[in-house]
Structure 1
Amino acid sequence: MNIFSFTTHFSSEEACREHFKSERDKIGVVCHKCGHTKHYWIKSRWSYECKNCRSRTSLRSGTIMQGSNLSFLIWYKTIFLLSATKKGFSSKEIQKQLGMKRYEPVWAMVHKLRKAMGNRDARYSLEGMIEMDEGYFTIESSEIEKANGGRGRGAAGKSNVAIMAESTQLEDVEIGKKSSQCRYFKAKVLDSHEAGEINETIQEAFDETSIVFTDDSTSYVDISDYVELHISEKSSEELTKETLRWVHITISNAKRNFLGNYHKIKGKYLQLYLNEFVYKLNRRYFGEKLFDRLVIASITGL
């Protein structure tokens, strides 16, 4: 969606609220009290009333807008800004674009949307042939400073991130050249290098019939217990450029994206920034539909 179509369709609070309701109606409302799915709509209250127990559910209830005092128009403008470009905006820039005086509500709103993006992608498992490796991302974190004895303001550390790519290996039988195509990605901040955390990540993110390609790290020794086949190779330049090509392209692109858009990222929020990057990457061909998908995520991604 470009800025002209956005301003045409969502120029008022009423228009945004009506659109949000129509999208929520398609998904359905479940009564928080009895679990019933049939409701009346009470427009004067902007609430749903359960046909079974008469309990009411507000339009925002059960969505990421629950408890927010910001208008639907502000939320929709922010969703538009986050979905308008591949690179994204910092919370400071969004505050400037919205013309809001206080930074804190904008920061909280943007992080709620990033969390919703992550929750939406967590519903899906990677399958088929999967590349997996780890990258180190620069962060600013008091926890890292204490652990490493860092001193002074701005002391930075590194956070380890598992990057996973659902790729398809292709080979031209005539010339013997290999290539790959990639569909979906996942990224997870790791607290340690231990095999136990890698195993949990595999169970959460991969279909058990998958074929997984990695280097020969000792953290990956148990992967074969959770998937159909695990193929590991000794780390080399060829491995990086061919077998694990997509994960290393993704790591490089993510680092450039963060460096170009954000002044600093604290370690405890790194996963949220990764959520946004991967969410957009997985929907890189959606074009203007990305706005509608993010509205849906804001309803279902609590």
Structure 2
Amino acid sequence: MNIINFINRFPDESSCIKFLREQRTKSGIICKRCSCNRHYWLENKKSFQCASCGFRTSIKSGTVMENSNLPIRTWLLAMTFITATKKSFSASELQRQLGMKRYEPVFRMYHKLRKVMGQRDDIYRLEDMVEYDEAFVGKATKAKSQNKLKRGRGSQKQSIVAVMAESTVLENPESGKLEKSCRYFKMKKIKNLEAKTAQGLVKEFIDQDSVLQTDKSTTFSDLGDCIEVHVREVSGTDKGHFNLKWVHIAISNLKKQLQTYHMISERMMQNYLDEFSYKLNRKYFGQKLFDRLIIASIYPYWHDCG
């Protein structure tokens, strides 16, 4: 999706309502009052009405747009700008592109979209061979306290991020050497570098039958009970040895992307990680990324309804 395609596809608000109605119908409308799944459309109310009890569900209800006064076309245009580039897109730049006077509605809208990106990726677990490492990224701190905070590794000026990458070892037929390719990533903000924190992440986001690759940090010393195979020998890429190539590439790219923003608060850090991972996991989707974000945006509705 680019801006020219968007204008042709959604020339006005009514075309956006029609599109969202079709998407909602595909996913299924379930009545919040009686759980009936048979509805008909009320054109004059822009709502679905339950065929059983008459309860009405608005076009935005249960989606990322719920309780928002912004037009649906504004939401779709924002999704177009966000998905049109693989790089970061700041809320202030989004405000300028949308031509909106106030910053706060754009900021809230953008973070709601980032949140549904994270919800969508949390459905999937990493499997097969998985790399795991941790990184430190800068965060916003009060100017008065900056000189009092610790510097370097473990500084209070930084957030700790756990990075996981689902990698596959392939043999190059020409050289006979082992090479690695990567499929999916996960990034989670964590509070500390304790072993139990790493154990919780491994249990939640990585399939138990996987092969987990880490460095020799004491943080990863007790992961054997959480995973089928835990490899801590990370010296080179010769046969029998592995490195953390993909997580290190992801960490490097993440830090470059976050430079787009002046400073990110600790509270909002996970939302930025979710957007970065969501785009990275769909780097080959091209213009289809817009439609995938639409699905993610209406996902909370049918997920909550089972």
Please state whether the residue corresponding to 1:78 is helix, strand or coil: helix
Identical counterparts, % of pairs: 45
State how far apart, in whole Å, the 1-side matches of 2:223 and 2:198 are. Answer: 8
| Cα pair distance change 1:186/1:98, threshold 3 Å | same
Deviation (angstroms), 1:18: 1.0
The 5 A counterparts of 1:1-302 are 1-142=1-142, 149-150=148-149, 157-172=157-172, 175-233=175-233, 243-259=243-259, 261-301=260-300
One-letter code aligned to 2:123: R
Which has a greater percent of helix? 1
Tell me, in whole angstroms, the C-alpha distance in 2 between the residues paired with 1:145 and 1:29.
51
| Contact 2:62/2:300, CA 8 A, preserved across alignment | no
Counterparts of 2:89 and 2:178, CA distance in 1: 37
Per-residue deviation, 1:52: 2.4
CA contact (8 A) 1:115 1:301 kept: no
Report the AA paired with residue 263 of structure 1: H
1:159-181 residue CA offsets vs partner (Å, 9 max, x unmatched): 11011001101234774422101
Residue 292 of structure 2 aligns to which amino acid in structure 1? R
What per-residue deviation string (whole Å, max 9, x for no partner) do you get for residues 168-216 of structure 1? 0123477442210110110000111111211111121111111110011
Question: Is 2:213–2:242's contact at 8 Å kept on the other side of the alignment?
Answer: no
Find the aligned partners of 2:29 and 2:20 in 1 and give their Cα distance: 13
Deviation at 1:238, TM superposition (A): 6.9
1:268 aligns to what SS in structure 2? coil
Q: CA deviation at 1:148?
A: 8.3
What is the one-letter code of the residue matched to 2:207? D
Please tell me the residue identity of whatever aligns with 2:190: L
1:146 positional shift: 6.2
Look up the SS of the partner of 2:120 in the other structure: helix
5+ residue gaps, structure 2, are 302-306
Distance 1:98 1:123, change over 3 A: same
Q: Could you tell me how far apart the structure 1 residues matched to 2:50 and 2:227 are?
A: 44
Secondary structure of 1:233's aligned partner: coil
The aligned amino acid for 2:275 is E
Code of the aligned partner of 1:56:
R
Q: SS where residue 214 of structure 2 aligns?
A: strand
Q: What secondary structure is seen at the aligned counterpart in 1 of 2:86?
A: coil
1:25 Cα deviation after fit? 1.0
The answer to whether the 8 Å contact 1:125/1:206 transfers is yes
The residue number in structure 1 matching 2:304 is: none
Q: Which runs of 5+ in 1 are unaligned?
A: none
Q: Secondary structure at the match of 2:80?
A: helix
**Structure 2 counterpart of 1:202, which letter?**
V
SS in 2 for 1:54: coil
Describe the superposition over 1:87-139 as per-residue Cα deviations: whole angstroms up to 9, x where unpaired. Answer: 03100000011111100000000000000000000011111100110111011
CA contact (8 A) 1:117 1:301 kept: no
Secondary structure in 2 matching 1:225: coil
Aligned residues: 295
Give the superposed CA RMSD: 2.4
Amino acid at match of 1:296: I
**Residues 31/232 of structure 1: CA separation in 2 closer, same or farther (3 Å cut):** same
Aligned partners of 2:114, 2:184: CA distance in 1, in Å? Answer: 18
CA distance in 2, matches of 1:127, 1:293: 22
Q: Deviations over 1:247-290 (max 9, x none)?
A: 0000000111111x212111111110111110001001100000
